Amino acid sequence: MSRRSRWLVAVVGLSLVVPLLPVTSAVAQEHTVTAAPDQPGGVRTIPDWRMQTSRSVSGGGDVISRPGFTDVNWLKVPARSTVMAGLIANRKYPDLNYSTNMKQVNAADFAVPWWYRKGFTADPVPGRHTFLKLNGGVLARGEVWLNGTKIAGTDKVIGAYPIREFDVTNLIRKGDNAIALRADSVDPQRDLTIHFIDWAQFPPDRNQGIFRDVTLASSGAVSLRNLRVDSDLPLPSMASADVTVKVDARNNTDKPQTTEVSGTVDGRAFKQQISLSAKQTRTAAFTLKLDKPRVWWPFQMGEQPLYEASVAATVGGAASDTARTTFGIREIDSKLIQGGRQFFVNGQPFLVRGGGWASDLFLRTDLRKIEDQLKLTKAMGMNTIRLEGKPENDELYDMADRMGIMLLTGWECCSKWESYDTFTAEDNRVAGESAESEARRIRNHPSMIGFLIGSDFAPPAAQEKIYLDALKRAEWNLPIISSAKALSSPQLGSPGMKMEGPYWWVPPNYWYNKQKGGASGFASEIGPGPTIPELDSMRKFLPPNEIDALRDYNAKHYHLAPSDTFSKLSFWGTALDGRYGKPTSTEDLVRKAQLANYEVNRAQLEAFGRNFSDADRPSTGVIYWMLNSAWPTLYWNLIDHNLATGGSYFGAKTALRPLHVQYSYDDNSLAVVNTGLRDTTGLTVQATVFNLDGTQKADVSQPVTAKANASVRTGTLPKPSGLSSTYFVRLLLKDASGKVVDRNVYWLSTKADKLNYADSTWYHTPQTEYADLKGLNDLPQGSVTATTAGNKVTITNNGAKVAFFVRASLRAGAGGPEVHPTTWSDNYVTLWPGESTTLTAEYRASDLGGKTPHFQVSGHNVPKVEVR
């Protein structure tokens, strides 16, 4: 992100709330039931660790890794646990999400190495081999010891992503064993690590420690590694597919071995005899033709069937090793269209409308929360996630495969990763190992769409070659892109992407102009900045005085960003005042923030949808910056850290409906966007214009056919005389029977927002004039009734005035806290007299805490109603 200069913020504060306990040799070592795998092909994950600062430990790895060493008073931490994650799990600090509590953490605690230790039992069998595997680096670098012997030092245990495997057969003992890992301190400007730049306040340990599984694996004389599957569809036909399965057979011994490698795909069996010399690795390859394959599609285009490939190796008729993987049959390609990168899935143009992913700030793996976020993403209609420098653990990819959400991976900006001129020979090696390891790990996932080897800077020739060679070794067969910015690299050429901002507030009409970040080409990361949550969510991480302080647009806010550029609400607040009127209270600010967030996020994604079919500089993709939050923040998210969904989310959800009617802020045109692969005929667009007082000023209807995977223009919105300065537009898309299949309501102004492109910065284009939406403050009070049936609430406008921006929320008991997450079919709806709508809420009953579910309904001009 060129939006960010290279700077670091020191975290200085108090010592740990609870002092770390020293090791006490008088206490016996604590044992847990952890054993090395005892069958060929078996894999055991180290389930948890004991963790301690090196300041409290006497001796090095040769002592700590011995089975008799005492670790009872060390902290017990999860299997995947950075130092901060381990300390948080042991409640060493107050809630670090809340207020400025994270300032209390003393950064000096992480200037020294930390040790991880685990005891386990084993029962070695002659001829059986045991392997210790790091499924990603120890941050930033460290050592690995087993039973008093050093397995690897900082020359090998380095970097966030290189996968390491060590044959520890000769070190494993019958009975008690112990492993120790040392994690050294982290400097994002020195190390190829994981850094959060300006996405949130920095984790005080800079993510020092372990963030992926450490495993023990067992096999016989021959091990199977790197199982990969490729499929080939003879497009445009999908009547058959060629599936190629490859696996590396490795001889672990000093003697020649003959192995039989066999396997199955979709009930089809295959096998092959392979002769291996001492320590040799050879690849076994099998190609099968599948008739009538079940083809994998992104969720808005089709189904997501998955296949499984399983392989096994035998030596002398005895089992030696096994491996398995899932995969999907699909084709991914891309090319440049008028300078913009267009992706294709199974031969069909694929308009990327996605968001930037934020891993947990402390790199914790909460599978339920990850799944919740992906479900909310899919329910919103967002089809792609960009992983910038935060490649997640395997489970996220598995979930994306099942849900049909595309993933675009790559390295991060603004840290060592793009300080190419400082790369040493070691950095070059680690960069290549990182790319190869990640590509091998994720290449079988049908949800993958491409690999960005640069973010804000394309790598120069030397690093580009390193990455391309690494990806070739991994047999990466998807698009490789030089940069997320319009910067070419020597071999790959133009990336077909742009990174011209904005990252902060712009009005809705900005997105329709094809200047800067407007809807043309592929915008790799853009968004309108602040996303103030509803009060229920905000109160979970901010005290009342900090919430009230949001009305001061010149004040710095800890939960905005650590950079000066994004630490104040500044011109977001100026625009809010200019367009909606200065908030009269904190509640009024939050209410108006939802309006502003809804309209601008809807406009961003609608504009890219509309321009997808343009003949001149079409839009080919957009990544909203960002999708979720690493830590509670007041900006850059559609789904907040508490899994709450406010105006930002539902504005985007409206824009991303699969068959959608929309208004254009630039030329007053109407359009229908269809993300499906079939034309939809017999449709009618009805556009109605209302004054604020509810008076109907115009009503027109026009037939339209929604073209498959495309957008079509369908006339313009009437401009009747006598409009109030703020007015409403209701768009209805009806099928041949008259049923409404899409509904969209706008609040517009007779005065346009005006932008000054000449004074644009990399993160913002300033406004010179503001739309007048202040009339919304004078709406007469509306009235609604609400009834429930199971998880549905039906809202009816039973009054004589418009009921504007009506929101439903699910509560745990009458007047209780809001339940997060709740997946709503729609929300923030506007109803005219006599209209009604039914909203569906999906939630976990367990999140009610034993309370009875209640629905609360309120609106911009509607009193609160609560029903059971």
Radius of gyration of the chain (CA): 29
Q: From the candidates 205, 388, 456, 606, which is the catalytic residue?
A: 456
Q: Say how far apart CA 86 and CA 91 lie, in whole Å.
A: 9
What's the full length of the chain, in residues? Answer: 868
End-to-end CA distance of the chain: 47
**Bridge partners of residue 352, in order along the sequence:** 621
Look at residues 4, 11, 116, 96 and name the one whose alpha carbon lies nearest to residue 54.
116
For residue 505, give both structure tokens.
């507030």
Task: Give the rounded distance of the alpha carbon of 339 from its chain centre.
Answer: 26
388 contacts 418 by C-beta, under 8 angstroms? no
**Bridge partners of residue 829, in order along the sequence:** 806
Residue 462: CB atoms within 10 A of its CB come to 11
650 contacts 678 by C-beta, under 8 angstroms? no
Buried b (16+ CB within 10 A) or exposed e, 546-561: bbeebbebeeebbbbb
| Residue at 146: amino acid letter | L
295 contacts 233 by C-beta, under 8 angstroms? yes
For residue 277, give both structure tokens.
């010399």
- Strand, coil or helix: what is 231? strand
| Peptide bond preceding 403 in cis form (omega within 30 of 0) | no
Looking only at the bridges linking them, the beta strands covering 348-350 and 521-526 are: unpaired
191 contacts 207 by C-beta, under 8 angstroms? no
Look at residues 452, 386, 455 and name the one whose alpha carbon lies nearest to residue 416.
455
**Bridge partners of residue 797, in order along the sequence:** 784
Token look-up 């386990």 returns 120
Task: Give the rounded distance of the alpha carbon of 165 from its chain centre.
Answer: 28
377 contacts 387 by C-beta, under 8 angstroms? no
- Strand, coil or helix: what is 91? coil
Q: From the candidates 525, 534, 546, 606, which is the catalytic residue?
A: 525
- Strand, coil or helix: what is 564? helix
| Residue at 789: amino acid letter | A
Catalytic site includes residue 456: yes
Task: Give the rounded distance of the alpha carbon of 725 from its chain centre.
Answer: 40
Q: Say how far apart CA 304 and CA 236 lie, in whole Å.
A: 19
Q: Say how far apart CA 749 and CA 321 lie, in whole Å.
A: 69
Token look-up 């199974």 returns 346
Measured CA angle at 44 (ends 42, 45), to 5 deg:
150
For residue 470, give both structure tokens.
């690494």
100 contacts 48 by C-beta, under 8 angstroms? no
Q: Say how far apart CA 618 and CA 349 lie, in whole Å.
A: 12
- Give one DSSP letter per residue of 678-747, joined into a string: S-EEEEEEEEEEEETTS-EEEEEEEEEEE-TTEEEEEEE----SS--SEEEEEEEEE-TTS-EEEEEEEE
Token look-up 């508490």 returns 642
Look at residues 539, 729, 656 and name the one whose alpha carbon lies nearest to residue 648.
656
Token look-up 């509607």 returns 862
Residue 233: CB atoms within 10 A of its CB come to 18
Token look-up 């992913």 returns 357
Helix (H) or strand (E) holding 794: strand 792-797
| Residue at 654: amino acid letter | T
DSSP letter (8 states) at residue 421: G
DSSP letter (8 states) at residue 440: H
| Residue at 9: amino acid letter | V
> What values do phi and psi take at 699, rounded to 5?
-155, 115
**Bridge partners of residue 329, in order along the sequence:** 295
What are the catalytic residues? Answer: 456, 525
